[in-house]
Amino acid sequence: MENTALFSTSYPLSILIADSNPEAHLSTKNLLCQLGYLPEMAASRQEVQNKTSTKAYDVILVDILMLEMEGMPAVTGLFRQNKRPLIVSMTGNARLNFKQVCLKGETDHSITRPVDLNELSLQLKAYSVLMGKCRVGGQK
């Protein structure tokens, strides 16, 4: 993987972490900070709705249990931007069939916890490139 200090500069994204588990929240935030991102946090449906109504996010990382308890509208809501952000579900419970959530069209991708830094960085890089936000080689 390339220099992590430069990663968020080359692949700029606005990221929201939606997770009601404080320890998992912190773990995900720390990984994103290693890549140079400053993610925002939301621990409830209301916080997600408040944040997405005032700011456009490129990526929302959401705990699968939050989706199951509060439903997808808690995450997708009415976004301020015209395009829907990339929604990535996360879980540490291998017994949950959370890949099915993605197949139903509720999320765009899924990550198993503990989150692998290389896997996460590849996904964020791909999305930044697809959005036209990539700044590799001084280009935007």
Local confidence pLDDT in tens for the 140 residues of the chain: 555 668 999 999 999 999 988 888 899 999 999 999 999 999 988 888 888 888 889 999 988 777 665 555 545 554 544 567 888 888 776 555 656 655 565 677 778 888 889 988 998 998 898 888 887 654 44
Written out in words, the top-level CATH class of the domain with range 4-130 is: alpha beta
pTM (2 d.p.): 0.82
CA neighbor of 12 nearest in space, from 130, 137, 128: 128
Amino acid at position 37, single letter: Y
> Angle at CA 82, nearest 5°, toward 79 and 83?
85
Structural tokens at position 55: 């700011």
**Can you say how many angstroms the Cα of residue 117 is from the centroid of all Cα atoms in its chain?**
13
